[in-house]
Amino acid sequence: MLATDRPAVPDCEIFCRVVDNLGDIGVCWRLARDLATRGLGVRLWVDGWATLVGLCPPAADGACVAGVELRRWTEPFPDAVPARLVIEAFACDVPPRHLEAMAAREPKPAWLNLEYLSAEDWVAGCHGMASPHPRLPLTKRFFFPGFVPGTGGLVQESGLVDARRAFQADPAARAALFAALGVAPAPDALVVSLFAYGHGQLAGLLDAWAAGPRPVCLLVPEGRMADALATACGRSALAPGEGLQRGALDIRVLPFTDQDGYDRLLWACDLNFVRGEDSFVRAQWAARALVWQIYRQQEDAHHVKLDAFMARYTAGLDADVAAALRRFWRAWNEVAETEGGAPETPAACWPAFAAALPRLAAHAREWSAELEALPDLAQALAKFLEPAVKC
């Protein structure tokens, strides 16, 4: 939906640099749309315009899409009156020219840095910490999304969980989605979506699925993983709409979809492989079993974050089920089980993980319900920054 009736000075503006393809912009676009549906005027500054228009209808600089004013983040930075709430996503740094404009405005805008998501224990203690600017009369606060009270919560649009429940309670809706995608899973098939950064042991996992006792219908969005699958299968390429049958494994490449379409895909599958932050959170709202590939960081800092989430996510699970999840997730992330050891292969860890899937499916529903009870990210923003913003 295009519109041009948003206020000249929005309530909120979000600054986003496109760092890793769809990751940062995926979070920012979801948050911007969510805030707009709650009645706020929202402006989104993006430096990677081509990536943005892959997620939403093509638009010109300054156009309004889904209630969000879209602006190119260019150099030199254009003149713009700052919003009442200024969010720099993932430490991208507000341009100096805009900071000067913020300092000149009365009252001063609320200013925060939206941090990356983490389940580490220290997050709640750092949420909301202040950082005065060394020169200007401005104070930035650090805003941490999270999984527990005392953090900023997760992006959860109004009606999201109700829509997911209605979809999953309606077999016809699932069948219609698959039909629209040109997919016809066998009645007893394990339907798996695969979205990842790539994996050196992918071919071995495909072999395990192909030789396994249960049919596996593997749905892969076009792009990096479709190319990796083609290579693993000895093909030069696999285009959207193409498929490949290998024993019990049926591979289907899907065309790129928007965020709402991706949500429905996650709702429809039995197991979702996801990566980074945005698809990771959406898989949790899907209330389906999942496998997370965390974004790699220098000096293996991501290992700590992976372990922190697994510890929180598996709390209360039977020991054998929790162990199967940890073992497979660590193998998928190429993390060794022992100090100085070599990582296990996903194929070797698959049988135990597959056996645990019925319990993990029930746990995913329980986990989603726990998250639903927490304030969502937009609500936390409103409460944290009152009276600058009211939702």
**Rounded CA separation 21/261 (Å):** 18
Pairing mode, if any, of strands 139-143 and 110-114? Answer: parallel
Cα distance between residue 292 and residue 325, in whole Å: 10
Q: What is the chain's alpha carbon radius of gyration, rounded to the nearest angstrom?
A: 22
Is residue 53 a contact partner of residue 83, using CB atoms and an 8 Å limit?
no
Kindly name the residue from 11, 88, 115, 277 that is annotated as catalytic.
277
| 219 vs 204: CA distance, rounded Å | 17
Per the structure block, which two tokens stand in for 53?
A: 């228009």
Angle between the 301-313 and 319-332 helix axes, to the nearest 10 degrees?
150
Apex 62 CA angle, 56 and 65, nearest 5: 30
A 10 A CB-CB count for 127 gives 19
Identify any residues that bridge with 86 across adjacent strands, giving them in sequence order.
Answer: 13, 111
Q: State the residue for tokens 């596996």.
A: 216
HSE of 167, CA atoms in CB hemisphere, 13 A: 24
Query: What distances in angstroms separate CA 7 from CA 65, 69, 96, 193, 216, one per listed residue?
Result: 14, 9, 24, 40, 50
Q: Measuring CA to CA, which residue among 200, 349, 214, 317 is closest to residue 270?
A: 214
DSSP 200-237: TTHHHHHHHHHTSSS-EEEEEETTHHHHHHHHHTT-S-
Q: Which of 24, 250, 263, 376 is catalytic?
A: 24
339 is catalytic: no
**CA distances in angstroms from 200 to 10, 87, 205, 258, listed in the order given:** 46, 37, 10, 28
- Is 370 annotated as catalytic? no
Please identify every residue annotated as catalytic.
Answer: 24, 277
